[in-house]
């Protein structure tokens, strides 16, 4: 009996074990309740985003409907003007004919009063015509102004939908034609048309914006100003220029000293906006790095004077691609920014061939590093990548040999790898994305993987001789425009509690 009693006592759990089990059960219950609460919050956020997207789509459709109505009004007003002009011309012609007949019949007897009456009739007809024409033109201007307002609303709604979806924004810039060269490309608002039966059927491409050859550097930068400034809110941003050799990529991104491009203007804008913040965010000094990818080698363009162009390695740290040993320099004024980027550009590899006497032979990436602290003590950080891609080339057209040929092959290979990444991202069944097939895509992985905002300038030639290359560039850009990265996320780390 004693042995049996001892056995029963050993089989019963101790009071401490029971308390531990009860505590574990309570913790599990609390964890489950917390998970349910977080799941409910996520579902509520998702529902809100869907409603927001549906509202934006409805507003866009309504704006498009109104725009169509106003376009119809403009057409009716223009027809009314044409009718008025035709009627007025007919009345003037009839009056003048009548005057000529009277003058011919009564030339001998006509007196001063009759001549004055004739002149008065002519002036009356002319005044009536001018008044009617002015009224019709005023109606057309009012309709055009209203149509422009509706187009602006539609553009803003479209941009909002694109932002919610996270699509890569694409803007096209056409280079002025060479002297005496016939044009085959016709840019207009939001659309590029190619007319060259020798190479292709008529082709139209629609993008977020299209800049014709007369567009200024300021107009181009104004189109990305808000995107650039969003980097101060914790969004990482990537702007890159793509196109054939000689199409104006470096002009768009760097620009000459008297017509600075996106790089200097963007960084200066961030510097200015950071100094004007009034919402309690304080920023650390902004830092810049500048590198080039030449023949699949990463080289520091801001290396100290006299230092050799060492080959740098790309690695992954905290989910981002980083370059070990890359020089970063703080900037405090717009003048410092301009001098620093100009110094880096002088180190960049360049060479001449049949299409461009000063062709960039490497991809360059200027990066602005932004770090700050919000009024609540949260840590904010982001990066602004400004990328000038080397030009895509047809080897038979450039006549490249030797080093130029080796460079061209490396350029085309890395651009092909970028195309493969975009194709994989645009796929409905997104699987493996080959970011590591080139140094370019490896470095831009964090900009093309869903948390960042991305914009592409596709630079094209208007010359008829360049239609094959222009078509390739526009098709590449259209493929990029189909990529939806997902809604960008702010990189803000909550303050320790």
Higher pLDDT, 152 or 203: 203
**CA atoms 454, 455, 460, 462: torsion sign:** positive
**CA atoms 283, 223, 204, 176: torsion sign:** negative
Mean pLDDT value across residues 225-236: 92
pTM confidence score: 0.68
pLDDT attached to residue 397: 59
> Are 121 and 186 within one domain?
no
Q: What secondary structure does DSSP assign to 204-215, as a single string?
A: EEE-SEEE-TT-
> Are 99 and 242 within one domain?
no
Q: What secondary structure does DSSP assign to 355-403, as a single string?
A: S-TTEE-SEEEEEEEEEEE-TT--EEEEEEEEEEPPPB--HHHHT--HH
Q: Are 173 and 459 in contact (CB under 8 A)?
A: yes
Question: How far is the C-alpha of 413 from the C-alpha of 420, rounded, in Å?
Answer: 11
> Are 385 and 436 within one domain?
yes
Is pLDDT of 497 > 70? Answer: no
Which of 165, 188, 214 is the endpoint of a domain?
165
Which of 165, 196, 225 is the endpoint of a domain?
165
Q: Is 75 contained in some domain?
A: yes
pLDDT attached to residue 356: 47
Is pLDDT of 283 > 70? Answer: yes
> Are 183 and 96 within one domain?
no
**Number of domains the chain contains:** 2
pLDDT attached to residue 154: 62
> Are 193 and 160 within one domain?
no
> Are 224 and 160 within one domain?
no
Q: Which domain holds residue 202?
A: 167-493
Q: Is 196 contained in some domain?
A: yes
> Are 183 and 159 within one domain?
no
Please state, for a pLDDT cut of 90, what percent of the chain lies above it: 34
Question: How far is the C-alpha of 162 from the C-alpha of 208, rounded, in Å?
Answer: 10
Give Cβ neighbours of residue 30 (< 8 Å, ≥ 6 apart): none
Residues annotated within a binding site = 243-250
Average confidence score pLDDT of the chain: 84
Residue listed under structure tokens 């003007």: 81
> Are 136 and 205 within one domain?
no
Longest C-alpha distance within the chain, in Å? 159
Question: How far is the C-alpha of 3 from the C-alpha of 284, rounded, in Å?
Answer: 76
Dihedral of CA atoms 272, 277, 283, 287 in degrees, nearest 10, equals -20
Question: How far is the C-alpha of 243 from the C-alpha of 442, rounded, in Å?
Answer: 20
Q: Between 402-426 and 467-481, two packed helices, what is the crossing angle to 10 degrees?
A: 30
CA distances (Å), 297 to each of 134, 300, 368, 389, 411, in order? 66, 10, 21, 14, 11
Report the residue count for the chain. 497
Q: Is 60 contained in some domain?
A: yes
Q: Collapse the DSSP code of 49 into the 3-class scheme (helix H, G, I; strand E, B; otherwise coil) and give the result.
A: helix
> Are 440 and 297 within one domain?
yes
Q: What secondary structure does DSSP assign to 78-146, as a single string?
A: HHHHHHHHHHHHHHHHHHHHHHHHHHHHSTTT--HHHHHHHHHHHHHHHHHHHHHHHHHHHHHHHHHHH
Give Cβ neighbours of residue 144 (< 8 Å, ≥ 6 apart): 74
Residues annotated within a binding site for ATP = 243-250
Domain harbouring 301, CATH code = 3.40.850.10
Which of 143, 165, 187 is the endpoint of a domain?
165
Dihedral of CA atoms 386, 392, 398, 401 in degrees, nearest 10, equals 90
Q: Collapse the DSSP code of 69 into the 3-class scheme (helix H, G, I; strand E, B; otherwise coil) and give the result.
A: helix
pLDDT per residue as tens digits for the range 399-454: 556 777 888 888 989 999 999 998 888 876 667 889 999 999 999 998 887 778 99
> Are 266 and 187 within one domain?
yes
Q: Is 9 contained in some domain?
A: no
Mean pLDDT value across residues 297-323: 83
Domain harbouring 63, CATH code = 1.10.287
> Are 256 and 144 within one domain?
no
Q: Strand ranges (DSSP E) for 254-349? A: 282-283, 286-294, 297-300, 311-312, 314-317, 320-323, 329-331
pLDDT attached to residue 291: 95
CB atoms within 10 A of CB 247: 28
pLDDT per residue as tens digits for the range 74-130: 888 888 888 888 888 888 888 888 888 877 777 666 667 777 888 888 888 888 888
Q: Are 366 and 263 in contact (CB under 8 A)?
A: yes
> Are 42 and 156 within one domain?
yes
Please state, for a pLDDT cut of 70, what percent of the chain lies above it: 85
- Encoding tokens for residue 145? 């102004």
Mean pLDDT value across residues 476-493: 86
Q: Is 402 contained in some domain?
A: yes
Question: How far is the C-alpha of 475 from the C-alpha of 413, rounded, in Å?
Answer: 17
């Amino acid at each position: 009996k004693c042995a049996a009693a001892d056995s029963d006592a050993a089989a019963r759990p101790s009071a401490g074990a029971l308390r531990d089990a009860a505590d574990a059960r309570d913790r599990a219950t609390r964890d489950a309740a917390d998970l349910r609460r977080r799941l409910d919050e996520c579902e509520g956020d998702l529902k809100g985003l869907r409603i927001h997207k549906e509202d934006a789509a409805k507003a866009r459709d309504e704006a498009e409907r109104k725009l169509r109505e106003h376009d119809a009004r403009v057409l009716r007003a223009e027809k009314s003007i044409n009718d008025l002009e035709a009627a007025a011309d007919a009345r003037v012609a009839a009056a003048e004919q009548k005057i000529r007949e009277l003058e011919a019949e009564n030339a001998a007897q006509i007196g001063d009063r009759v001549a004055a009456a004739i002149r008065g009739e002519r002036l009356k007809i002319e005044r009536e015509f001018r008044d009617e024409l002015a009224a019709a033109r005023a109606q057309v201007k009012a309709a055009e102004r209203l149509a422009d307002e509706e187009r602006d609303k539609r553009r803003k709604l479209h941009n909002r939908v694109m932002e919610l979806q996270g699509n890569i924004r694409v803007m096209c810039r056409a280079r002025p034609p060479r002297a005496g060269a016939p044009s085959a490309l016709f840019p207009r608002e939001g659309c590029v048309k190619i007319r060259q039966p020798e190479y292709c059927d008529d082709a139209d491409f629609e993008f977020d914006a299209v800049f014709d050859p007369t567009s200024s550097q300021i107009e181009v930068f104004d189109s990305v100003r808000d995107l650039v400034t969003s980097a101060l809110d914790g969004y990482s941003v990537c702007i890159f220029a793509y196109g054939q050799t000689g199409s104006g990529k470096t002009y768009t991104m760097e620009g000459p000293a008297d017509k600075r491009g996106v790089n200097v203007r963007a960084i200066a804008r961030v510097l200015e906006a950071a100094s004007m913040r009034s919402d309690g965010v304080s920023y650390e000094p902004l830092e810049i790095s500048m590198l080039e990818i030449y023949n699949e080698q990463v080289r520091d363009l801001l290396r100290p004077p006299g230092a050799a162009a060492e080959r740098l390695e790309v690695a992954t740290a905290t989910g981002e691609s980083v370059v070990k040993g890359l020089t970063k320099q703080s900037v405090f004024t717009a003048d410092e920014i301009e001098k620093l980027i100009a110094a880096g550009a002088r180190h960049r590899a360049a060479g001449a061939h049949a299409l461009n006497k000063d062709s960039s032979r490497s991809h360059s990436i200027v990066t602005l590093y932004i770090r700050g602290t919000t009024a609540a003590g949260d840590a904010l950080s982001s990066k602004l990548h400004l990328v000038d891609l080397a030009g895509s080339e047809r080897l038979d057209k450039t006549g490249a040999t030797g080093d130029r040929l080796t460079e061209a092959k490396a350029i085309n290979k890395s651009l092909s790898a970028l195309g493969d990444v975009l194709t994989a991202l645009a796929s409905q069944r997104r699987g493996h994305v080959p970011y590591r097939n080139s140094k370019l895509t490896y470095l831009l992985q964090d900009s093309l993987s869903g948390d960042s905002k991305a914009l592409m300038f596709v630079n094209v030639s208007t010359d008829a001789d360049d239609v094959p290359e222009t078509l390739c560039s526009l098709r590449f850009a259209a493929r990029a425009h189909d990529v939806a990265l997902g809604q960008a996320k702010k990189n803000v780390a909550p303050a320790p509690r």
